Amino acid sequence: MGKLAGKVAVITGGSAGLGLATARRFVSEGARVFLTARRAAPLDAAVGELGSAATGVLGDVTDADDLNRLHAAVDAHGQGLDVLFANAGTGRFAPFGTTTPQAFDEDVAGTLRATYFTVQVLLPLLKPGASVVLMSSAAGSAGAPGLSVYGAAKAGVRSLARTLAVELGEREIRVNVVSPGYINTHPENADAVAYQEAGAAGIPLRRVGQPDEVATAVLFLASGDSSYVTGSELFIDGGRNQV
Ligand code: NAD
């Protein structure tokens, strides 16, 4: 029997990268997954690959109406929500001096604000015993050039997980956060010598991570294997955060 047998899960940003890798793992462990993403073609492809255990809900997590449509789709399924992986996030490399107020607002909205309101909108569906996993980044605690806005927004996500763990504990809802380092989410990353070198240089394990290594960590936090873990942060970064 799978670790998520009979469970209903939402994964935001589920059509690609770490969200899709986690969706594959969740489905293989018996979950029914609702995926949301902004573009129809990749979302349809992900749902097609995952089969009848997956439902795609097109939408942008920065948009209140789209979040309400996601809520309605899960609600219509009629079994509540056991796992929420708030994975979607955006950010761009930009030296500190070049960041405009507009870019700042967009990146904070796409990461911290979107995560905040994804949890708030879906909270009524979360059942006692549910698990919420928020996506942060090693850049939310370790300094990284060009990531001043992204890092600050991801630091906010880390903080949010701790506060929600305290507020939602009495409802038996656990809230934890994952913080990946350099993960090889796209084929082009594998070919990018600069990416490999820049990444590996500061990583004790001397390699970038693979999406499956993040999915395994998210599964641990989503499943009953972590039943007494809440308010914790799990780094999946090859030790990057320690140097
Ligand atoms: P990706 O670009 O491969 O996939 C992003 C997914 O999120 C896509 O499905 C996209 O449609 C969706 N998405 C993005 N913004 C969205 C929005 N506003 N509304 C709905 N869907 C949205 O990205 P990834 O590398 O898998 O990253 C996923 C998360 O992991 C992000 O929050 C990112 O910051 C975080 N992260 C990634 C790495 C890494 O090295 N890949 C490291 C640390 C943290």
Name the amino acid, one letter, at 239: G
Q: Give residue for tokens 């989410």.
A: 185
Domains annotated on the chain, with CATH? 8-234 (3.40.50.720)
Tens digits of per-residue pLDDT, 71-88?
999 999 999 999 999 999
How far is the centre of ligand 1, averaged over its atoms, from the C-alpha of 139 (Å)?
14
Q: Is 62 in the pocket of ligand 1 (CB under 6 A)?
A: yes
Does residue 199 register a pLDDT over 80? Answer: no
Residue 109: Cβ within 10 Å count: 16
Global confidence as pTM: 0.96
Ligand 1 atom having least distance to the Cα of 183: 40
Complex ipTM tops 0.85: yes
pLDDT digits (tens, 9 = 90+) for 34-69: 999 999 999 999 999 999 999 999 999 999 999 999
Is the alpha carbon torsion for 95, 101, 104, 106 positive or negative? negative
Q: Is 56 in the pocket of ligand 1 (CB under 6 A)?
A: no
Q: Which two structure tokens, joined as six digits, stand for 39?
A: 């573009």
Whether 150 is a known active-site residue: answer yes
192-208: b or e for each residue (b if 16 or more CB lie within 10 Å)? eeebbeebbebbeeeeb
**In angstroms, rounded to a whole number, what is the distance separating the alpha carbons of residues 182 and 201?**
11
Could you give the CA distance from residue 64 to residue 219 in angstroms, rounded to a whole number?
A: 27
